[in-house]
Amino acid sequence: MRQVSVNIRTTGVRGIHRVVEVTSLAEQWQDDLQFLVPAPDAAAIAQVENWREKGLRNIAVVGVEGLEEGDIVDLDPGRGKATVLFRESDVHHSLFLTNRCNSYCLMCSQPPTRQDDGWLVDQAIDIVRHVRVPPAVIGISGGEPLLAAAGLERVFATIKDYWPETAAEVLTNGRLLHDARVRQALFGDPPTNVRWLVPLYGHADFLHDFIVQSPGAFDETLDGLLTLQEMRQPIQLRIVLIQPVLDVLDELCRFIGKNLPFVECVALMACEPTGFALANRDICELDLCDAGPMLDRASRVLDRYQVRHVFMNAPLCALPPRLWPRATRSISDWKNTYADACTKCSVRDRCCGLFAWHEKNWKPTKLKPIEEAIA
Ligand code: SF4
């Protein structure tokens, strides 16, 4: 998430606001929303203060810094910061429901915490209410969002109310779907327009359980996948490409083809070089180019079983050209960057690029700008 330093000109305001230009305030006005007006000059500040004095207490003024019309921000006046939680111009959008998790994955990009953070569900609902232009797709993640299953159900209901056309994608390890209360909360009235993104890291319990550092997780995740199938919910399986997973990738893809043919898609993802991946660098850092033959073989196995698959977080110069059509621009906008070398690359426009922290940590491969588009 982007953090912007702001000069908040109105005292006593905090929490979720929609950024709106003073000229479009009247058109967007709703008395149950909070608005933040970037004021370019003293006259604009005075105008907004005047409205507040007349009773419009849900408007705040801020200096003009780094915010865009339609941004949904969380204001923290104590630190003079606004966290941008939703930006209309982004390609990827997400709601974050908890930082708690029941797994402890070796390459987790966002290590879990134990504190009660139930307020995040209310914040997510507030974000949905404040957004001006609904996104086509909203990601819902954590931590493990099923730890807040009742809250997740409320988020689904709010999305259905406010953004009826929006598809939700829930990133979950699926383990809690074996719990009858979780199933009841989520599937008493099964959601429509929801897709479930579920990681699977091995074709046997000891492999998957090792990666997620949780005994019993493999069986629970498979149970969860079968529950989702029974509920006719679309599933994308996610495989993060770290060394112990690459070592069994063929077998894992065969296992998926034989036993989980109902999944809609498999995403093979390069590891994000942050969080626990830094502590487990010996098994998480690899050159994707070296893994090219293994990725090609995995793709052929999945093709043989007619399982649709994509590559995520994988720059084109790291992949065999045969796999380029399956590569997606998957890195969230606020995490995404390109290296200087990319400026002279002919496929930059369709390449996912790099995680912003590649400089500090590691690159997925030695970059090789492509001179002419191959595919
Ligand atoms: S050089 Fe940069 S833009 Fe080109 S394929 Fe590699 S990462 Fe992508």
User: Is the CB of 347 inside a 6 Å radius of any atom of ligand 1?
Assistant: yes
Phi and psi torsions of 85, nearest 5°? -95, -15
Check pocket membership of 266 for ligand 1, CB cut-off 6 A: no
Q: What is the DSSP letter of 125?
A: H
In which residue ranges of the chain is pLDDT below 50? none
- Ligand 1 in contact with 345 (CB < 6 A)? yes
SS (H, E, C) 232-293: CCCEEEEEEECHHHHCCHHHHHHHHHHHCCCCCEEEEEECCCCCHHHHCHHHHCCCCCCCHH
Using the mean position of ligand 1's atoms as its centre, give its distance from the Cα of residue 362 in Å. 15
Q: What is the reported pLDDT for 114?
A: 93
- Hey, which of 338, 359, 365 would you mutate to test ligand 1's pocket, going by the most ligand atoms within 8 Å of its Cβ? 338
In degrees, rounded to 5, the angle at the alpha carbon of residue 160 between the alpha carbons of residues 159 and 162 is 60
Tokens of 34: 């909070």
Give tens-digit pLDDT for 241-259.
Answer: 999 999 999 999 999 999 9
Q: What is the whole-number distance in angstroms between the Cα of residue 338 and the centre of ligand 1? A: 7
Q: What is the pLDDT of residues 71-110, one digit of tens each?
A: 999 998 888 888 999 999 999 999 999 999 999 999 999 9
pLDDT at 195: 98
* 35's tokens: 């608005």
CATH C-level class of 94-332:
alpha beta
Q: Which residue has the tokens 């790099």?
A: 354
- The pLDDT score that the predictor gives to residue 237 is 98
Residue 335 Cα to ligand 1 middle (Å): 16
Q: 81-86 and 72-76: which strand pairing?
A: antiparallel
Segments making up each domain of the chain, as ranges: 2-84, 94-332
The pair of structure tokens assigned to 272 is 């994000």
C-alpha 152 to ligand 1 mean position (Å): 37
Tokens 């997510």 locate to 124
Residue 351 Cα: closest atom of ligand 1: 8
Which of 311, 328, 336, 342 to probe ligand 1 with, by most ligand atoms within 8 A of CB? 342
Distance, CA of 72 to CA of 258 (rounded, Å): 44
